[in-house]
Amino acid sequence: DVKVTQSSRYLVKRTGEKVFLECVQDMDHENMFWYRQDPGLGLRLIYFSYDVKMKEKGDIPEGYSVSREKKERFSLILESASTNQTSMYLCASKRANQPQHFGDGTRLSIL
Amino acid sequence: AQSVTQLDSQVPVFEEAPVELRCNYSSSVSVYLFWYVQYPNQGLQLLLKYLSGSTLVKGINGFEAEFNKSQTSFHLRKPSVHISDTAEYFCAVSWIQGAQKLVFGQGTRLTINP
C-alpha cells in the first residue's frame, strides 16, 4: 500500500516565521504535490514536482516555495508566515497515469 | 481551462436511503475523472476513478459513478447509505497528458441521519 507521510498533524506558528512542512512517500513516485484546503474552496494546488529538483507553480504559489532534493521527499516552505496561510495542507504523490495518493494533512495555524 | 463544479455543498439523507452527489466539469481536452472521500481529520481516500472503457465505474464501499461525456458529468451514487458514509466528497479531473495535476470541485458534505 502506498504511504504518504506528513511530518506533523497540527502545527502552530507565529506571523513572520519561516515554516517547513515535510512530506515523504515510500513508493518511488515521480510526481508530488502540495495543496491547501479551505472550506467552500475545495483543494487548491500550490506547487508540484515531477522529478528531483524540478518544480512547477500551481494555482496559488504566492508566499510559498518548495524543495525536492530527494525523490521521496517534497517540502513546502512558507517564507514569512502570515495569518491568511492558516489552513489545512495536503501532500500527494503519484505515478504517471495512476491516481494521486494523499497524506493525512497538516493543520497549520498562524497566530 | 478545466473546472469542476459540485452542484451541492451539503446533502442530508436518511440512513438506508439512496444518494446521488452531482459533479460537472468543463474541459476542451480528454480527462481522467475521480471521486475522493475525506473522513473527519483525515486525508483524501480514492473512492473510484474513470480512466477509459466502461462509463459505469464501481468503487469502494458500494459507491459507483457514471461518466457522461455529452453532459460532461460524473455523478456519484450509492443505493443505500450508512452512518459511516458521513464525510466530505470531492470530484476531481486531470489532463491525460503531462504531470496530470488534479483540479478539484468545492466538495459536498454528506450527512447521514438515523
A63-111: pLDDT as tens digits: 999 999 999 999 999 999 999 999 999 999 998 878 899 999 999 999 9
pLDDT of residue B40: 87
Q: How confident is the model at residue B99 (pLDDT cuts 50, 70, 90)?
A: low
Query: If 0-12 CB within 10 Å is exposed, 13-18 middle and 19+ buried, where does residue A36 land?
Result: buried
Tell me whether residues A45 and B102 touch, CB distance under 8 A. Answer: yes
> What pLDDT digit, counting tens, does each position of B4-14 carry?
999 999 999 99
Phi and psi at residue B7, to the nearest 5°: -75, -20
Which A positions 58-77 lie with beta carbon below 8 A of chain B? 58
Q: Is the pLDDT of residue B1 over 80?
A: no
pLDDT of residue B41: 83
pLDDT of residue B56: 95
State the average pLDDT over residues A28-32.
93
Residues in chain B closer than 8 A to A43 (CB atoms): 44, 90, 102, 104
Give the best residue of A31, A35, A37 to mutate against chain B (max B CB count within 10 A). A37
- Residue percentage of chain A with pLDDT more than 70: 100
Q: Is the pLDDT of residue B104 over 80?
A: yes
pLDDT of residue B34: 95
pLDDT greater at residue B80 or residue B101: B80
State the average pLDDT over residues A59-66.
96
CA distance A103 to B114: 31
By residue count, chain B amounts to 114
| CA nearest to A10, candidates A98, A87, A84 | A87
End-to-end CA distance of chain B: 41
Q: Is the pLDDT of residue B52 over 90?
A: no
Class of domain A4-97: mainly beta
Strand partners, A42: A38
The domain segmentation of chain B, as residue ranges, is 3-113
CA distance B106 to B92: 10
Q: How confident is the model at residue B98 (pLDDT cuts 50, 70, 90)?
A: low
Rounded to an integer, what is the distance from CA A49 to the centroid of its chain? Answer: 10
* Residue that has been written with the C-alpha cell 510526481 in this structure: A31
Q: Which chain A residue is nearest to residue B38, measuring alpha carbons? A: A104
Angstrom distances, CA of residue B75 to CA of B35, B49, B90 = 9, 12, 11
> How far A43 CA lies from chain B's nearest CA (Å)?
6
State the average pLDDT over residues B82-105.
88
Q: Identify the architecture of domain B3-113 in CATH.
A: Sandwich (2.60)
The domain segmentation of chain A, as residue ranges, is 4-97
Query: If 0-12 CB within 10 Å is exposed, 13-18 middle and 19+ buried, where does residue A2 land?
Result: middle
Phi and psi at residue B97, to the nearest 5°: -95, 165
